[in-house]
């Protein structure tokens, strides 16, 4: 059973400290929600975990599968089984969803076994078709250029499609609910729920409680000013929905000293 | 923060005293004092030689050569005959049909070694000429005398004149009126040889109401401790209502200084699809001129290039609208790695009276390193008042967020760059709907990125 363990993580962007000592453990099979107001460092945490070069770790460690992954490149982290669903998925003009997806799967297979010849095309097509059906995506999507001219909802579906195809052990969903209407939110959440199980740990990063009506978390954490200030079970999110973030401000003051 | 690198450029007063080629009058193919008055081909070569001798070597003071410096050229060191103690065999895939499975004919020219011609006899019966230059001189001299040097003139430049005078290796194609070839013709010039100067000449002539797809390949192995040379001519005529798809693939070895003058003349309601793929040579200066001379003539020009290391590719294109209701559409896309450099200089010219012209030109570049440099210079010269002419030019570097996105999916850096580059070229590949050409280009990109 693998787990992602974040220990006292401090991160700066352009020399400005954003994360100021984050501690969190996400185990395979668990769903954690990370909530908090805008600008508190939630996305910084997501990008740092995946290894974006603009985020500078000044202190702390992130352990996954027996190693501190902070020294690894993003592709090596992905090979270990880490996945990030982007808040703002990037368009790659001229590269079709299917071609990209096959390149990603084959890279991961090759990392696991250098002699691997790549996924057989019929098997790949079958998998892709099945998952696209679950996500209620038009099959024509596979030949469209990745995220190029996609609507917000289409982009988020393609993120979940990738997650389903790559089968990560730990997935981070960064504001996957933002920009989605209620129908799209339901479809995307159903897609995520299908991936839930003992093999997958999920960290749902969100500003709103709304998505947690569909993806029920086992644990909820609240981040403010670069730290996790409160952790609890699912009812913490409901408390937050009723009272907003203000009641936590006093807590932050205490934590921040 | 890295300290910015300041590059200062000394202005050197470049004199016109570049070395001349160590080539003499007697080196002209089939030169003979006695036959001076007889044969048209020798006459043509001698006249070109005279023009060559009267033209100075281009320097960066000449507008067309401003960005391509020939001071590294060592023309006095070249040999005219390859040394074949150790012949380098061409890669097998060079000869495979690039389009579909069948070809109507193929000529493989290996300077100094010989020529292999295979051609479907039924097309010869229909009056098609598909022959190397020597054979054409022997068997089709009447046609050759009428066509050779009609479209590209020796006066067009120093290297045009030299190639006109010296080219012994060449291919001649004629498609008679009413003949529509469904299968392509394929010409391959494979030319190994250390310090070799080579010359080529291609003539393609489509009579009215005819059709042809032609693939023109120029290639040689990479050679170290060598500087070699190629000057080539391509002249094309597309008759009334005819359709030519012309694909040229340049994959010269890394020691070749390559110069070419190409011109296509498209007559009334004719159509030309002109495709350029350039990945080879140390340095290239290529003039590609299009003359739309008859009403309703159309040309689509699609170019793609990928450079690395110290390569320098300079493509000079000219779209001349010389008649009303003519259309041209040019798109050149290039990616550059390492310290390589590209130049694209384009001009749309609309002659007085060429009303209802529709002209377009665009050049897009993607640089993969900080040292790579692409110069993109579009130009318009419009002397008619009812026309639509637009252009665009961009140079961009590879997007770090795109790379990170692909890395985050487990795709390693070189493959991520390869995917992005392939995606960048996709719009041009859409204009080149030939799987073999696409495959060839992709495999070269892949090899150069690693």
Output phi, psi for A158, to 5 deg. -65, -30
CB of B427 within 8 Å of any CB in chain A? yes
Q: Is the pLDDT assigned to residue B16 strictly greater than 70?
A: no
Give B291's strand partners. Answer: B265, B320
Q: Which residues in chain A have Cβ-Cβ distances shorter than 8 Å to B414?
A: none
- Weakest mean pLDDT among B10-19, B125-134, B367-376: B10-19
CB of B406 within 8 Å of any CB in chain A? yes
Contact B426 A86 (CB under 8 A): no
A93 vs chain B: nearest CA distance in angstroms?
6
**Domain spans of chain B?**
35-294
**Domain spans of chain A?**
22-256
A14, A94, A98: best mutation site toward chain B, by most B Cβ within 10 Å? A94
- Map tokens 């001129």 to a residue: B289
Single out the residue of B392, B394, B399, B391 nearest to residue B421, CA to CA: B399
Contact A78 B419 (CB under 8 A): no
pLDDT tens-digit map of A36-62: 988 999 999 999 999 999 999 999 999
Contact A103 B426 (CB under 8 A): no
Q: Which residue has the higher pLDDT, B20 or B350?
A: B350
Contact A92 B423 (CB under 8 A): yes
Q: Which band of pLDDT confidence, cut at 50, 70 and 90, is reported for residue B7? A: low
Mean pLDDT of B195-216: 97
- Weakest mean pLDDT among A218-227, B34-43, B197-206: B34-43
A73, A75, A149, A166: best mutation site toward chain B, by most B Cβ within 10 Å? A75
- CATH entry, A22-256, from 3.10.290.20, 3.30.420.40, 1.20.1440.230, 3.40.50.300: 3.40.50.300
- Map tokens 């140079």 to a residue: B395
Q: Is the pLDDT assigned to residue B405 strictly greater than 80?
A: yes
pLDDT tens-digit map of A16-43: 999 999 999 999 999 999 999 889 999 9
Distance of alpha carbon A165 from alpha carbon A132, whole angstroms? 10
Contact A75 B412 (CB under 8 A): yes
CB of B425 within 8 Å of any CB in chain A? yes
**Sheet of strand A16-27: strand arrangement:** A16-27, A3-13, A55-64, A67-68
Residue among A50, A90, A107 minimizing CB distance to B401: A90
Q: Residue A252: what pLDDT?
A: 59
Nearest CA in chain A to B419: A95
Share of chain B above pLDDT 90, in %: 80
Distance of alpha carbon A35 from alpha carbon A224, whole angstroms? 9
Q: Which band of pLDDT confidence, cut at 50, 70 and 90, is reported for residue A257? A: very low
Q: Is the pLDDT assigned to residue B35 strictly greater than 80?
A: no
Mean pLDDT of B56-74: 93
B396, B410, B415, B425: best mutation site toward chain A, by most A Cβ within 10 Å? B410
β-bridge pairing B243-251 and B271-278: parallel
Mean pLDDT of B68-73: 93
Q: Which residue has the higher pLDDT, B124 or A255?
A: B124
The tokens for B314 are 């300079």
Q: Which residues in chain A have Cβ-Cβ distances shorter than 8 Å to B419?
A: 92, 95, 99-100, 103
A250 contact partners, CB below 8 Å, separation of at least 6:
none
Averaged pLDDT score across all residues of chain A: 93
Distance of alpha carbon A180 from alpha carbon B333, whole angstroms? 37
Contact A92 B420 (CB under 8 A): yes
B50 vs chain A: nearest CA distance in angstroms?
50
pLDDT tens-digit map of A74-132: 999 999 999 999 999 999 999 999 999 999 999 999 999 999 999 999 999 999 999 99
A34 contact partners, CB below 8 Å, separation of at least 6:
A24, A42, A45, A203, A204, A205, A206, A221, A222, A223, A228
Q: Residue B14: what pLDDT?
A: 47
Q: Is the pLDDT assigned to residue B177 strictly greater than 80?
A: yes
- Weakest mean pLDDT among B97-106, B153-162, B368-377: B97-106
Contact A104 B423 (CB under 8 A): no
Q: Which band of pLDDT confidence, cut at 50, 70 and 90, is reported for residue B102? A: confident
Q: Is the pLDDT assigned to residue B8 strictly greater than 60?
A: no
Q: Are A73 and B407 in contact (CB under 8 A)?
A: yes
Nearest CA in chain B to A100: B419
Share of chain A above pLDDT 90, in %: 80
Mean pLDDT of B255-269: 98
Distance of alpha carbon B271 from alpha carbon B427, whole angstroms? 21
Contact B410 A111 (CB under 8 A): yes
Cα–Cα distances (Å) from B249 to B280, B310, B440, in that order, read: 9, 20, 10
B235 contact partners, CB below 8 Å, separation of at least 6:
B147, B149, B150, B151, B152, B202, B203, B204, B262, B263, B264
Mean pLDDT of B395-424: 96
Nearest CA in chain A to B427: A94
pLDDT tens-digit map of B240-255: 999 999 999 999 999 9
For chain B, the residue count is 450
- Weakest mean pLDDT among A205-209, A236-240, B381-385: A236-240
Residue among B415, B422, B426 minimizing CB distance to A107: B415
Is this complex's ipTM strictly greater than 0.90?
yes
Averaged pLDDT score across all residues of chain B: 92
A72 vs chain B: nearest CA distance in angstroms?
11
CB of A213 within 8 Å of any CB in chain B? no
Q: Which band of pLDDT confidence, cut at 50, 70 and 90, is reported for residue B13? A: very low
Strand runs labelled E in B27-151: 105-110, 114-119, 129-132
Q: Residue B31: what pLDDT?
A: 81
A82, A83, A103, A149: best mutation site toward chain B, by most B Cβ within 10 Å? A103
Vertex B107: Cα angle to B87 and B79 (nearest 5): 40
Mean pLDDT of A128-142: 93
Q: Which residues in chain B have Cβ-Cβ distances shorter than 8 Å to A73?
A: 407, 413
Q: Is the pLDDT assigned to residue B9 strictly greater than 60?
A: no
Q: Is the pLDDT assigned to residue A72 strictly greater than 90?
A: yes
Nearest CA in chain A to B410: A75
Q: Are A164 and A191 in contact (CB under 8 A)?
A: yes
Q: Is the pLDDT assigned to residue B10 strictly greater than 80?
A: no
Nearest CA in chain B to A109: B410
Q: Which band of pLDDT confidence, cut at 50, 70 and 90, is reported for residue B65? A: very high
Mean pLDDT of A201-214: 92
Q: Which residues in chain A have Cβ-Cβ distances shorter than 8 Å to B415?
A: 103, 107
Nearest CA in chain B to A78: B410
Q: Which of residues 128-187 of A touch B (CB under 8 A)?
A: 145, 162, 166
Q: How many CB pairs under 8 A join A and B?
A: 80
Distance of alpha carbon B30 from alpha carbon B131, whole angstroms? 19
Q: Is the pLDDT assigned to residue A246 strictly greater than 90?
A: no
Mean pLDDT of B16-36: 76
Q: Which residues in chain A have Cβ-Cβ distances shorter than 8 Å to B404?
A: 52-53, 74, 90
Q: Which of residues 91-120 of A touch B (CB under 8 A)?
A: 91-95, 99-100, 103-104, 107-108, 111
Q: Residue B434: what pLDDT?
A: 85
Q: Residue B257: what pLDDT?
A: 98
Contact B424 A103 (CB under 8 A): no
Single out the residue of B89, B95, B90 nearest to residue B440, CA to CA: B95
Distance of alpha carbon A158 from alpha carbon A142, whole angstroms? 10
Q: Which band of pLDDT confidence, cut at 50, 70 and 90, is reported for residue A255? A: low
User: Which contacts of A178-184 are long-range, i.e. CB under 8 A and separated by 24 or more positions?
Assistant: A178/A87, A178/A152, A178/A207, A179/A152, A179/A153, A180/A152, A180/A153, A180/A156, A181/A153, A184/A153, A184/A156, A184/A157
Q: Is the pLDDT assigned to residue B164 strictly greater than 50?
A: yes
């Amino acid at each position: 059973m693998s787990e992602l363990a974040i220990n006292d993580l401090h991160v700066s962007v352009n020399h400005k400290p954003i994360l100021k000592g984050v501690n969190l453990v996400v185990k395979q099979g668990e769903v954690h929600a990370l909530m908090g107001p805008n600008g508190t460092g939630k996305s910084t945490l997501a990008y740092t975990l995946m290894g974006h070069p603009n985020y500078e770790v000044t202190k702390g460690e992130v352990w996954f599968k027996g190693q501190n992954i902070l020294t690894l490149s993003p592709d090596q982290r992905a090979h270990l089984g880490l996945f990030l669903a982007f808040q703002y998925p990037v368009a790659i003009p001229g590269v079709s969803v299917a071609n990209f997806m096959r390149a990603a799967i084959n890279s991961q297979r090759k990392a696991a076994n250098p002699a691997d010849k790549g996924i057989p095309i019929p098997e790949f097509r079958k998998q892709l078709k099945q998952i696209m059906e679950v996500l209620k995506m038009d099959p024509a999507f596979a030949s469209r250029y990745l995220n190029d001219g996609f609507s917000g909802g289409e982009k988020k579906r393609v993120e979940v499609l990738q997650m389903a195809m790559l089968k990560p052990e730990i997935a981070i969903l960064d504001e996957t609910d933002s920009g989605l209407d209620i129908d799209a939110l339901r479809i995307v959440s159903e897609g995520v729920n299908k991936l839930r199980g003992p093999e997958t740990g999920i960290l749902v990063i969100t500003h709103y409680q709304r998505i947690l009506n569909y993806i029920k978390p086992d644990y909820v954490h609240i981040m403010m000013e670069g730290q996790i200030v409160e952790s609890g079970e699912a009812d913490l999110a409901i408390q937050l929905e009723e009272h907003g973030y203000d009641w936590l401000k006093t807590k932050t003051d205490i934590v921040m000293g | 923060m890295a300290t910015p690198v300041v590059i200062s450029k000394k202005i050197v007063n470049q004199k016109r005293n570049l070395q001349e080629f160590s080539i003499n009058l007697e080196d002209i193919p089939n030169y003979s004092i006695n036959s001076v008055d007889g044969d048209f081909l020798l006459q043509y070569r001698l006249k070109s030689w005279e023009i060559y001798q009267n033209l100075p070597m281009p320097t960066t003071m000449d507008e067309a050569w401003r960005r391509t410096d020939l001071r590294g050229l060592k023309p006095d060191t070249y040999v005219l005959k390859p040394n074949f103690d150790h012949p380098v065999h061409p890669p097998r895939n060079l000869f495979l049909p690039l389009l579909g499975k069948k070809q109507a004919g193929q000529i493989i020219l290996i300077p100094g070694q010989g020529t292999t011609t295979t051609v479907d006899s039924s097309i010869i019966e229909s009056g098609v000429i598909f022959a190397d230059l020597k054979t054409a001189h022997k068997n089709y001299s009447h046609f050759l005398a009428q066509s050779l040097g009609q479209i590209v003139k020796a006066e067009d430049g120093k290297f045009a004149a030299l190639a006109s005078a010296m080219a012994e290796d060449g291919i001649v194609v004629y498609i008679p009126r009413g003949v529509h070839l469904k299968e392509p013709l394929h010409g391959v010039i494979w030319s190994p040889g250390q310090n070799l100067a080579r010359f080529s000449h291609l003539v393609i002539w489509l009579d009215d109401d005819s059709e042809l797809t032609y693939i023109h390949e120029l290639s040689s192995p990479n050679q170290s401790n060598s500087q070699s040379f190629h000057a080539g001519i391509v002249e094309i005529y597309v008759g009334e209502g005819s359709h030519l798809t012309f694909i040229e693939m340049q994959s010269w070895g890394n020691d070749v200084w390559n110069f070419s003058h190409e011109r296509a003349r498209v007559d009334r309601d004719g159509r030309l699809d002109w495709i350029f793929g350039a990945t080879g040579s140390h340095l290239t200066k290529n003039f590609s001129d299009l003359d739309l001379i008859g009403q309703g003539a159309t040309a689509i020009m699609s170019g793609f290039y990928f450079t690395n290391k110290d390569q320098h590719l300079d493509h000079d294109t000219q779209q001349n609208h010389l008649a009303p209701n003519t259309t041209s559409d040019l798109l050149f896309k290039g990616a550059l790695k390492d310290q390589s450099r590209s130049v694209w200089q384009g001009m749309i010219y609309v002659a007085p009276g060429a009303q209802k012209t529709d002209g377009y030109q665009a050049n897009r570049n993607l640089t993969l390193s900080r040292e790579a440099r692409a110069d993109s210079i579009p130009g318009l010269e419009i002397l008619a008042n009812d026309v639509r002419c637009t252009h665009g030019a961009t140079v961009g570097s590879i997007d770090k967020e795109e790379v990170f996105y692909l890395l985050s999916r487990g795709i390693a850096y070189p493959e991520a760059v390869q995917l992005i580059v392939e995606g960048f070229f996709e719009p041009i590949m859409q204009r080149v709907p030939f799987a073999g050409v696409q495959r060839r280009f992709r495999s070269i990109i892949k090899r150069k990125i690693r």
